[in-house]
């Protein structure tokens, strides 16, 4: 749930929404676009970590035999 919160998404978001939110937030807060902005760098790291958690979860869900 916290990962979805970090990406500013609702609990019923699909993975396509996760990817879109990650791209948007990563672009807004990327350290290369905002050099010297510690808040943006910290937010970028939060967004990246949240996306990594959700991506791994999606990969496990897809790999699970049905």
pTM of the complete model? 0.89
CB 29 within 8 A of CB 44: yes
28-55: per-residue pLDDT in tens? 999 999 999 999 999 999 999 999 999 9
Average confidence (pLDDT) over 19-27: 97
Residue 9 has phi, psi (to 5 degrees) of: -120, 160
pLDDT of residue 60: 94
């Amino acid at each position: 749930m916290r990962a979805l919160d970090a990406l500013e998404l609702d609990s019923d978001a699909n993975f396509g929404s996760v990817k879109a939110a990650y791209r948007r937030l990563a672009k807004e807060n990327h350290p290369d676009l905002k050099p010297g902005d510690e808040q943006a760098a910290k937010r970028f790291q939060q967004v990246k970590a949240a996306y990594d958690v959700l991506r791994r979860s999606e990969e496990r869900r897809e790999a699970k035999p049905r």
